[in-house]
Structures are given as structure tokens and as C-alpha cells.
DNA sequence: ATACCAACCAAGCACTTGCTTGGTATTGTG
DNA sequence: CACAATACCAAGCAAGTGCTTGGTTGGTAT
């Protein structure tokens, strides 16, 4: 008793249909770009007609928003958890890079790429609603980078360093192939070498 | 006598109208994205009607191509010339970073950003026609980076390093403001610090 | 004056876009 | 079973898309 079983889709646990839409959207928005991907294309990928999408989302824009909102929360949580396990500064630095690389080149890579590369396609209102979560994620980065500077591992300003490293890491979407000869661990090492002196 | 004055627009020196279209296109394609920017918008910015654009270019796609083709040639030439003036390895490394940063944050910044961020919006044929020029530019990068490795300034693979640095540098479009407190020279120094150990 | 031509306008065509509407299966619950 | 609620289809609308067409203009060379 208590509350009925219909606490189905409070906000954080999408229904099966929504799940399929979000996954397909992440992939297509990444592969083809948000503006070039039509609702018909997306519906085709899900296996429904285009109009049916609007039973689950009010607009195409809201689908983009949902993809981004979800992956921000995931990345923030994953980073917080991984950092909590890391003891010394250098391993925390490593965790920073590793978490981001694993997201971008792992199963949630499409969503992560969409977050980065389609930010400007999101409506200003959508951007505003996501700012807080994004800022929280970046704050974790800067805390670690600041810690690294105090430990003498680097002497670049944490904010500048975060932006530079973030750029280098997200750009790997465009050239790095996890199936190729270079492993994600190798890549992680190369990025880490950029920070450490 | 000789040839008539109408050696006007051989290929490399766009007419005044084309010049205005290309400049407006570079700005708009960067600010709004190629897909979201309509031919009417572009025509408005130039001060003509949308149909008149097609007197100068065969398609919207060809305008994007022209913007990219031009800026590739410029960057390649600028880098070659600047490298020729640099004596030692470290200053050649600095020239590499400086040239790219100056392009991205200088008067041709819009075109340079379009080249980087709208590459996927270009037709496959267009991409193929630009590959050679792009490869030539990247080859210059890798030659310097390889030289730096042989000099013991770094020990990361040149290709990997090029991609990482390139990512960090082009991403500055999204956060760095040349008018802000940090100068381009400061930024150049920060990027250089990533490479040198 | 004449001939010419690049540059542009005015209008609109064929098509695609995101989204709506009204109805029908399908599903879970008392 | 009844009965909602959910998920979906079928059809299409209004607005916007890239691009075309036929014609006008203003300047330049003959």
C-alpha cells in the first residue's frame, strides 16, 4: 500500500519508449547533427511514426534537452563517485581524464558528444536550465586541477587548464577509435602527460 | 591591348560581391551554424535578395566550400611562411601555436571556426576536394612536433600530440575572449606549457 | 547611340520541416 | 469482465527550405 505502483516515470526513470527515443536521438544527433536530423528520421530509427514522438516529448527541442540533462547528471555522478575512491592528487587527476574519456568513448559516448557539440543548438531557456548541472561538473574539474597546482604538478591557472584539457579530450571524438591500435588507456596517458610536467 | 581588363576573377581573387558574401557567410555559419543559417539570412546580411546569391554561387553548399577552401589556403601559407622565419625547434613550436591561435581569434576567426566545426556539414565531394590542402597543413604540424620529439622536448607521438593540441586550441573559440583580461600571448604560453615538459 | 554584361530583383516552385488532430490498438488494473 | 490510461497510427497543415526563372538596372566599352 502506501503509494500506488504508478510512480512509474517520476522524472529520472524514463519509460521504455522514452528510453528508446533518447538512445536513438543521442546517436542520430551526434552522427548527423541536431539541425540536420529530422523528426521523421528519428522516428524511423525508433520504429514509430514521426507524430508519435510528440506523445512522449512536447518538441524536438525537448528531446535534445532530455538527452543532455540525463548525460550531465550521469557524468557528474560518475565523476563524484570515482573521485571519492581516489586517494592522492595524481590519481585524482587520472580519474578526471579517465572518466571523461570513458564517457566519450563508451556506451554513452553519443549523448556525451551531443552535450558538447550541440550546446548551441539548444534553446536559451534549455541552456539556462542546464547551467547549474554543468557548472557543478566543471567545479569538480577545477577543484582537482587546483589541488594539482598546489601540489606543484602544474602551474597553469585551473580554469584555463580545464578548458584546454577539456578541448583536447572532447576533440578525441573526431579522431580516436577505441577499436584501433591505441587503447583508451594509452590515450589517457597521453592526456595526462600534457598536464604533468 | 594585351589582354583586356577583364582578368577580373580568375579563381583566387573573388569579386567584391563574392568577397562580401564569403565574409558574411563565414560569420553567420560560425555564429548560427551552417544548417540553421538560411540563404535568406545570408542574403540579408549581404544586402541583397536570396535569389541573387545563386548568381555568384551554384548552391549554399558551394558557399561553405568556398569559405573553407580559402581559409585552408591562408592558414597553410601563413604557417609555412612563419615557420620559415623560425630558427630553433622551440620557436618553431611556438609559431605553430601562435599561427593557429591568431587565425582563430583574428579577423579570419569566423572562417577558421567554420572550417573546424562545420566540416561534417560539407558534402562528401566537398570534403574530398579539400582533403589535400588540409593534409598539407597538418603535415607541417607533424613535422614540427616530430622535430620537437627528437629534440627531447616531448615524448608523445606526433600524430596524437597534434590531435590533442589541435583540439585544445580550436576549443578556445568557445571560451577565450581576446578582449578579456587574458591576452592571446598568455594563451599561447599556456598551450606551449602543455607540450614542453 | 549602341551593344553588352555582371549584378540584382520579384515572384514563386517543389519540397521538407516540426508539429497537430482525431482516431484506433494495446496494455494493465479493479 | 469493464474501463481507463497509454502508445501508437494516418493524414495533413502552416511555415519555411534551397533554388529557379524571367526580367530590370546601371555601368563600361565600342
Q: What are the pLDDT digits (tens) for A121-149?
A: 999 999 999 999 999 999 999 999 999 99
Q: Which residues from chain A sit within 8 angstroms of residue B120, using beta carbons? A: 33
pLDDT of residue B16: 84
pLDDT of residue A161: 97
pLDDT of residue B13: 59
pLDDT of residue A3: 30
pLDDT of residue B17: 87
Q: Which bases of chain C are contacted by protein, using any atom under 7 A from a CB?
A: 6-12, 16-22, 29-30
**Cα distances (angstroms) measured from residue A188 to each of A96, A97, A168, B160:** 10, 6, 11, 11
Number of CB pairs, chain A paired with chain B, less than 8 A apart: 80
- Positive/negative CA dihedral, B148, B152, B155, B157: positive
E strand or H helix at B171: helix B158-171
A180-189 average pLDDT score: 97
Distance (Å, rounded) from C-alpha B101 to C-alpha B106? 8
Distance (Å, rounded) from C-alpha B63 to C-alpha B18? 9
**Cα distances (angstroms) measured from residue B174 to each of A8, A65, A115, B77:** 39, 20, 14, 25
Inform me whether the pLDDT recorded for A65 exceeds 90.
yes
Assign A197 a pLDDT band (cuts: 50, 70, 90). Answer: confident
Distance (Å, rounded) from C-alpha B152 to C-alpha A189? 18
For residue B111, the tally of other CB atoms under 10 A from its CB is: 25
- Strand D contact at CB of residue A49, distance < 7 A: yes
User: Does B167 contact A172 at a Cβ distance shorter than 8 Å?
Assistant: yes
Assign A14 a pLDDT band (cuts: 50, 70, 90). Answer: low
Distance (Å, rounded) from C-alpha B38 to C-alpha B194? 40
Q: Which residues from chain B sit within 8 angstroms of residue A167, using beta carbons? A: 167-172, 174
Assign A11 a pLDDT band (cuts: 50, 70, 90). Answer: very low
- Strand D contact at CB of residue A47, distance < 7 A: yes
Within chain B, which residues score under 50 in pLDDT? 1-12
* CATH code of the region B61-195: 1.10.357.10
pLDDT of residue A185: 96
Q: Which residues from chain B sit within 8 angstroms of residue A175, using beta carbons? A: 163
* B13-26: burial string, b at 16+ Cβ within 10 Å, e else: ebeeeeebbbbbbb
Nucleotide D5: closest residue by CA–C1': A6
Assign A4 a pLDDT band (cuts: 50, 70, 90). Answer: very low
pLDDT of residue B59: 96
Q: Give the CA A112 to C1' C25 distance in Å.
A: 37
Q: Give the CA B135 to C1' C1 distance in Å.
A: 57
pLDDT of residue B9: 38
- Chain A closest CA to B10's CA: distance in Å? 34
Answer whether CATH 3.90.25.10 is correct for domain A67-195.
Answer: no
Amino acid at each position: 500500500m502506501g503509494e500506488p505502483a504508478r510512480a512509474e516515470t517520476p522524472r529520472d526513470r524514463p519509460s521504455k519508449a522514452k528510453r528508446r527515443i533518447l538512445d536513438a536521438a543521442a546517436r542520430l544527433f551526434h552522427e548527423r547533427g541536431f539541425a540536420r536530423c529530422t523528426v521523421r528520421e528519428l522516428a524511423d530509427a525508433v520504429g514509430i511514426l514521426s507524430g508519435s514522438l510528440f506523445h512522449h516529448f512536447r518538441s524536438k527541442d525537448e528531446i535534445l534537452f532530455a538527452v543532455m540533462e540525463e548525460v550531465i547528471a550521469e557524468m557528474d555522478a560518475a565523476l563524484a563517485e570515482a573521485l571519492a575512491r581516489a586517494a592522492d592528487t595524481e590519481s585524482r587527476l587520472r580519474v578526471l581524464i579517465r572518466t571523461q574519456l570513458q564517457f566519450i568513448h563508451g556506451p554513452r559516448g553519443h549523448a556525451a558528444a551531443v552535450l558538447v557539440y550541440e550546446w548551441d543548438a539548444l534553446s536559451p531557456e534549455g541552456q539556462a536550465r542546464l547551467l547549474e548541472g554543468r557548472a557543478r561538473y566543471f567545479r569538480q574539474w577545477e577543484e582537482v586541477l587546483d589541488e594539482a597546482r598546489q601540489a606543484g604538478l602544474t602551474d597553469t591557472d585551473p580554469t584555463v587548464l580545464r578548458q584546454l584539457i577539456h578541448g583536447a579530450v572532447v576533440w578525441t571524438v573526431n579522431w580516436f577509435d577505441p577499436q584501433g591500435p591505441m587503447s583508451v588507456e594509452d590515450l589517457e596517458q597521453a592526456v595526462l602527460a600534457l598536464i604533468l610536467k
